[in-house]
Amino acid sequence: MRTKDIAEALAGRLDGDGAIEIDRLVHPARAERPSDLALAISADAVAALAHSKAQAVVVSADHPVPSGSFRAVITTNEARLAFARLTALFDHGPALEKGIHPTAVVASDAKLGVGVSIGAYSVVGPRSRIGAGTAIMPQVTIGADVTIGTQGVFHTGVRIGDRSAIGDRVIVHPNAVIGSDGFSFAPDLMSTAAFTADVVLTRVHSLGNVAIGDDVEIGACTTIDRATLESTRIGSGTKIDNHVHIGHNVTIGESCIVCGMVGISGSVTIGDRVRLGGGVGIGDHLRIGDQAVVAAGSGVAGNVPAGAFVSGYPAQPHQRALEQFVYASRQKRLHEKVEGLAMRLGALELTNKK
Amino acid sequence: MRTKDIAEALAGRLDGDGAIEIDRLVHPARAERPSDLALAISADAVAALAHSKAQAVVVSADHPVPSGSFRAVITTNEARLAFARLTALFDHGPALEKGIHPTAVVASDAKLGVGVSIGAYSVVGPRSRIGAGTAIMPQVTIGADVTIGTQGVFHTGVRIGDRSAIGDRVIVHPNAVIGSDGFSFAPDLMSTAAFTADVVLTRVHSLGNVAIGDDVEIGACTTIDRATLESTRIGSGTKIDNHVHIGHNVTIGESCIVCGMVGISGSVTIGDRVRLGGGVGIGDHLRIGDQAVVAAGSGVAGNVPAGAFVSGYPAQPHQRALEQFVYASRQKRLHEKVEGLAMRLGALELTNKK
Amino acid sequence: MRTKDIAEALAGRLDGDGAIEIDRLVHPARAERPSDLALAISADAVAALAHSKAQAVVVSADHPVPSGSFRAVITTNEARLAFARLTALFDHGPALEKGIHPTAVVASDAKLGVGVSIGAYSVVGPRSRIGAGTAIMPQVTIGADVTIGTQGVFHTGVRIGDRSAIGDRVIVHPNAVIGSDGFSFAPDLMSTAAFTADVVLTRVHSLGNVAIGDDVEIGACTTIDRATLESTRIGSGTKIDNHVHIGHNVTIGESCIVCGMVGISGSVTIGDRVRLGGGVGIGDHLRIGDQAVVAAGSGVAGNVPAGAFVSGYPAQPHQRALEQFVYASRQKRLHEKVEGLAMRLGALELTNKK
């Protein structure tokens, strides 16, 4: 790729030499070869430009460099988006040979689209269908009656349970599990009634599936349980990080962000464009409205209205949580003040008695 | 299955046609075929019956339907239990061909019971024994000297460490790990002594195993570390959800519920019929008494007596935790009140001086 | 091994018979054979010695036993370290046949050192190099351009992403994932700007790698994301427990302890000899200084200075967190006291008016 091509791909402005062949994207401090493109869209990286050996750089319109400082300067108005696009340009993807590896075990009635690749030792179950261009890395297992869309990537060790329905361009990271059984028993697990000595836990089987939209990303070691009768649903465009637990019968809307180690209990309903910070827990059957934000580490014990920003354990409106935190830090002073008032009051009472 | 058979299996009362052939269990709103059985044991589902196309329904005695509303009505007194049994009737289990897949690598001195199935690419180590009727799905690894009981199901990607001893009818979900090494070093990890610049962490090796009773269920991506010298123990009937971490030397009693993302540190002892909500953390060497309940998201930093209900971080009796939460929400008012008292007291003092 | 050899290996003092053949390490209560060595370095285990059938014992100099109580007594001054070394003496390691299993798929241009073992169905990608004596258990996948040092152990189901660089004597437990993609998008995930209806989440690809030093241990189901441009780094001697999530661009120093279920967000920098208790969460871009300790269950929302001990959510100096906890438990009393003062003050005001 030449600097000219990159400027075009980013819809950025090019100043200087458009013919430099670029083969690597680096921090300005790491630039060492003419073919390195230094990325300087953060203030920190811009500062590093002063001592950089880079010949070609990408900068933000917010942090311009003097004209002529480098052989080629690409300036972008949307720095974060340009950054994302640049990384896509330089990602060659995982190393997977084209075609079906001879050791893959594919059911005779499974259907594979044009250009599907399946890695060593992967297993595709009966009646499952995989869309054109999707890459199944080595040691993936896909159950029975699964449908997977086009242009997806399923990394090593991914487990897809029976009947899962997965859209186009879905990326699933290593050792994630989609379509495992829900955790549901009779009697109800967290019912207020005590578990007496004769309790027997009878399994509620999971007859439903997991349904995932398009352009969804699912992190490493994340698990999504299938529904009891219907579908656990993940809307299109939603991105899920590592170690996330999504219980049975959950519905998550479109373009949501679910950060690492979030736990979503059974039958929770989450709207569109919701953001859940790392380590958030959500109690069962709750509803989180569109565009709500839950701060990292919060425990949600009640419904969250659309657009709300909540934090804490139990989660409450963030301003209220902050206020309580501030008051908690003033306790010592408050106790001392009350003690002082009590002494002054006692003195007054004594005076009055006389 | 006919409606008559289902009513019998649930020990329920049948009104109407007992000869309807049923092949699917659905929410009342989803019923569309004569062979659909609509399940209406929750108030919500009962409400949906009004507009349902269902011909056969299962209802709770608590939510009866008028006689003659449907071709067949099965009424049950124990709704949740009937629900669990119904789902079992309609679960055909994972798709696994009978027998030992030709690609499975089974040690020559391993012993397999009658009717054991082993999926593609699974590996069974030396001297291990698997009981009659147990299903090992594809890509499972079973170490050396492992014993597994009868009628179990080991889903794809499950890892069973050396010397594990597992009972009958145990279900292990995808990518769970049983019998990994404990996390233990010299010096002690969380000792109060500082780690000085010359610290060297020396490994304590895990020579023990994991011992699991009958009818235990272990969730996807859950890990259970083996003991240092003896056994990490999980009692019969205990159900463990996804992403649970059970440290070395832990003992969990019978018929416990361990919800998703619970972390149990090393050498913790948990009684029978204990329930741990999602995301609970338990500090090392603690004891949790029989039938105790720990609310979701709590951090347990001390022993919990039998029958107690605790919550919070650090966990305390739930009523006390609630009380503190209520007081925390009244801080602003309290500060204002104290401020008001201080002003009134100042005024009185001024008056008195005159 | 004879008692004499064991005493030497522990640099301990031997009293009695040095020729007893030992083949098992046990708790004193479990000793039953002459070849059992009873380990009694904790007070609890020492107490059990009174009724033990052990003939050979290891004791701490802090808990000596009367001379002549056993056929052989090994006394150690550094009990915890001796314990660690003893367990190493009796660990025969996982059962893995020497050499490359015929079913392993190793790229033709991968390079394997002397004595490397690779288990059934493991896959090694193009241009990857594995150092002498390293054991790859069954069903491990190693990507392209990976380097792994000598004498390591990679347990079943481990996934190593492209370009990972791993040192000597590294142990990775089952189903851990090293080098998965970072969780990064444009626009920024937790930016304060609302996600409006037209939001499109554009992926930031992970072009960097994970770099791991020597003598590192990584727990079961732990995930370490690779960096965007450079390296996510784990320093030599650092030990990481199960279910830990380490985000992209994170740097962890040397000889750190990271307990189970810790979540470290992107671009966090952690010093040397830092200890993070179970379930700790750390917000993105934060810095944790050398030898800091974060108590279990804490949520870190700001930088932590070197040597600090913090706890709570949000984490603060432990003494302050404890103080606030104590004050929180006195709220009821404080409210009552303020109420009492208000009544007394009212009475005084009334008196004064007259």
Interface touch A125/B313, C-beta < 8 Å = no
Give the mutation candidate from A141, A221, A343, A351 for the C interface (greatest C CB count, under 10 A). Answer: A221
Return the sign of the alpha-carbon dihedral for residues A339, A345, A349, A352: positive
Residue B139 Cα, gap to closest chain C Cα (Å): 8
Share of chain A above pLDDT 70, in %: 99
Interface touch A157/B175, C-beta < 8 Å = yes
β-pairing, A72-76 vs A13-16, is antiparallel
Interface touch C186/A80, C-beta < 8 Å = yes
Interface touch B265/C261, C-beta < 8 Å = no
Pick from C187, C281, C345: CB nearest A297? C281
Residue B195 Cα, gap to closest chain C Cα (Å): 6
Q: Give the integer Cα–Cα distance in Å for C223 and C244.
A: 6
> Band of the pLDDT at A96, cuts 50, 70, 90?
confident
Give the mutation candidate from A201, A250, A333, A337 for the B interface (greatest B CB count, under 10 A). Answer: A201
Return the sign of the alpha-carbon dihedral for residues B334, B335, B339, B342: positive
Q: At residue B162, what is the residue type?
A: D
**With 80 as the cut, is the pLDDT of residue C226 above it?**
yes
Pick from C30, C279, C345: CB nearest B281? C279
Looking at residue B168, its pLDDT comes to 98
The DSSP result for C243-269, as a single string, is T-EE-TT-EE-SS-EE-TT-EE-TT-E
Pick from A84, A90, A349: CB nearest C185? A84
pLDDT digits (tens, 9 = 90+) for B340-350: 999 999 999 88
Residue A115 Cα, gap to closest chain C Cα (Å): 21
DSSP C226: P
**H runs (alpha helix) in chain C:** 3-9, 43-48, 79-89, 318-328, 331-353
Q: Which chains touch B (3 or more CB pairs under 8 A)?
A: A, C
pLDDT digits (tens, 9 = 90+) for A199-228: 999 999 999 999 999 999 999 999 999 999
Quick one: B253 exposed, middle or buried, by C-beta within 10 A (0-12, 13-18, 19+)? buried
Q: Which residue of B has its CA nearest to A199?
A: B255
Average pLDDT of B261-286? 97
Average pLDDT of chain B, as a whole number: 95
The DSSP result for A165-181, as a single string, is EE-TT-EE-TT-EEEEP
Residue B63 Cα, gap to closest chain C Cα (Å): 41
Q: Which residues of A touch C351 (CB under 8 A)?
A: 352
Closest CA to B225 of C32, A148, C107, C242: C242
Q: Which residues of C touch B126 (CB under 8 A)?
A: 95
Looking at residue B190, its pLDDT comes to 66
Interface touch B177/C255, C-beta < 8 Å = no
Q: Which residues of B touch A338 (CB under 8 A)?
A: 338
Looking at residue C353, its pLDDT comes to 78
Q: Which residues of C touch B201 (CB under 8 A)?
A: 237, 239, 255, 257
Return the sign of the alpha-carbon dihedral for residues B13, B19, B23, B25: negative
Q: Which residue of C has its CA nearest to B317?
A: C329
Give the mutation candidate from A180, A248, A286, A333 for the B interface (greatest B CB count, under 10 A). Answer: A180
Chains B, C: CB contacts within 8 A come to 210
Element (H, E) at B58: strand B56-60
Pick from A189, A196, A230: CB nearest B257? A189
B251, two tokens: 């003992």
The SS3 assignment for B341 reads helix
Closest CA to B105 of C93, A108, C139: C139
Q: At residue C261, what is the residue type?
A: M
Looking at residue A192, its pLDDT comes to 65
Given the residues A243, A248, A285, A335, the one annotated as active site: A248
Element (H, E) at A46: helix A43-48
Element (H, E) at C46: helix C43-48
Interface touch B242/A121, C-beta < 8 Å = no
pLDDT digits (tens, 9 = 90+) for B197-223: 889 999 999 999 999 999 999 999 999
Give the mutation candidate from C37, C180, C221 for the B interface (greatest B CB count, under 10 A). Answer: C221
Cβ atoms B30, B9 nearer than 8 A: no
Q: Which residue has the higher pLDDT, B113 or B354?
A: B113
Given the residues C155, C245, C248, C285, the one annotated as active site: C248
**With 80 as the cut, is the pLDDT of residue A325 above it?**
yes
C233, two tokens: 């780094």
Closest CA to A230 of B47, B150, B29: B29
Q: Which residues of B touch A204 (CB under 8 A)?
A: 83-84, 87
pLDDT digits (tens, 9 = 90+) for C77-97: 989 999 999 999 999 888 888
Q: Which residue of B has its CA nearest to C244?
A: B245
Interface touch A275/C189, C-beta < 8 Å = yes
Share of chain B above pLDDT 90, in %: 86
Looking at residue B68, its pLDDT comes to 86
**Whole-number Cα distances in Å, C278 to B182, B183, B217:** 14, 11, 24
Residue B341 Cα, gap to closest chain C Cα (Å): 7
Element (H, E) at A85: helix A79-89
Average pLDDT of A173-179? 98
pLDDT digits (tens, 9 = 90+) for B185-204: 998 876 667 788 889 999 99
Cβ atoms B172, B135 nearer than 8 A: no
Q: Which residues of C touch A275 (CB under 8 A)?
A: 189-190, 195
Tallying the residues shown for chain A, one arrives at 354
Average pLDDT of C180-199? 84
Q: How many CA atoms lie within 13 A of A294 on its CB side?
A: 35
Q: How many CB atoms lie within 10 A of CB A227?
A: 24
Q: Give the integer Cα–Cα distance in Å for B66 and B60.
A: 13
Given the residues B173, B248, B285, B318, the one annotated as active site: B248
Pick from B161, B205, B324: CB nearest C87? B205
Tallying the residues shown for chain C, one arrives at 354
Residue C138 Cα to chain centre, angstroms: 23
Q: Which residues of A touch C187 (CB under 8 A)?
A: 80-81
Average pLDDT of A295-309? 97
Encode burial over C80-107: b for 16+ CB neighbours within 10 A, e otherwise: bbbbbbbbebbeeebbbeeebbebbbbb
Interface touch B186/C83, C-beta < 8 Å = yes
**With 70 as the cut, is the pLDDT of residue C4 above it?**
yes
Closest CA to A11 of A68, A89, A65: A89
Looking at residue B111, its pLDDT comes to 98
Looking at residue C127, its pLDDT comes to 97
Q: Which residue of A has its CA nearest to C207?
A: A91
Q: Which residues of C touch A175 (CB under 8 A)?
A: 157, 159, 175, 177, 221, 223
Element (H, E) at B312: none
Number of H helices, E strands in chain B: 5, 37
DSSP C21: B
Q: Which residue has the higher pLDDT, C142 or B68?
A: C142
> Band of the pLDDT at A193, cuts 50, 70, 90?
confident
Predicted model pTM = 0.96
Residue C54 Cα, gap to closest chain A Cα (Å): 38
Average pLDDT of A52-72? 92
Cβ atoms A151, A170 nearer than 8 A: no
Pick from C157, C260, C312: CB nearest B141? C157
Looking at residue A190, its pLDDT comes to 66
Interface touch A205/B87, C-beta < 8 Å = yes
Q: Give the integer Cα–Cα distance in Å for C109 and C97.
A: 23
Domain ranges of chain C: 3-89
β-pairing, C177-180 vs C316-317, is unpaired
Q: Which residues of A touch B94 (CB under 8 A)?
A: 143-144, 162
**With 70 as the cut, is the pLDDT of residue C343 above it?**
yes
The SS3 assignment for A97 reads coil
Q: Which residues of C touch A309 (CB under 8 A)?
A: none
Interface touch C139/B162, C-beta < 8 Å = no
CATH of range C3-89; options 3.30.530.20, 3.40.50.2020, 3.40.605.10, 3.40.1390.10? 3.40.1390.10
Closest CA to B194 of C306, C316, C268: C306
B48, two tokens: 């949906």
Encode burial over A273-306: b for 16+ CB neighbours within 10 A, e otherwise: bbbbbbbbbbbbebbbbbbbbbbbbbbbbeebee
**Whole-number Cα distances in Å, B296 to B275, B277, B282, C120:** 10, 4, 12, 41
Looking at residue C194, its pLDDT comes to 74
Judge whether B155 counts as a catalytic residue: no
> Band of the pLDDT at C190, cuts 50, 70, 90?
low
SS (H, E, C) C133-183: CCEECCCCEECCCCEECCCCEECCCCEECCCCEECCCCEECCCCEEEECCC
Average pLDDT of B169-195? 89
Q: At residue A200, what is the residue type?
A: V
Q: Give the integer Cα–Cα distance in Å for B197 and B91.
A: 58
Give the mutation candidate from C205, C228, C280 for the A interface (greatest A CB count, under 10 A). Answer: C205
Radius of gyration, alpha carbons of chain A:
28
pLDDT digits (tens, 9 = 90+) for B21-50: 999 999 999 999 999 999 998 888 989 998
Quick one: A137 exposed, middle or buried, by C-beta within 10 A (0-12, 13-18, 19+)? buried
Residue A284 Cα to chain centre, angstroms: 21
Average pLDDT of B243-265? 98
My answer on whether omega of the bond before C187 falls inside 30° of 0, hence cis, is: yes
Q: Which residues of B touch C94 (CB under 8 A)?
A: 143-144, 162
Q: Which residue of A has its CA nearest to B80?
A: A186
Chains A, B: CB contacts within 8 A come to 209
Q: Give the integer Cα–Cα distance in Å for C152 and C213.
A: 12
pLDDT digits (tens, 9 = 90+) for A214-270: 999 999 999 999 999 999 999 999 999 999 999 999 999 999 999 999 999 999 999
Share of chain B above pLDDT 70, in %: 99
| ipTM summary value | 0.95
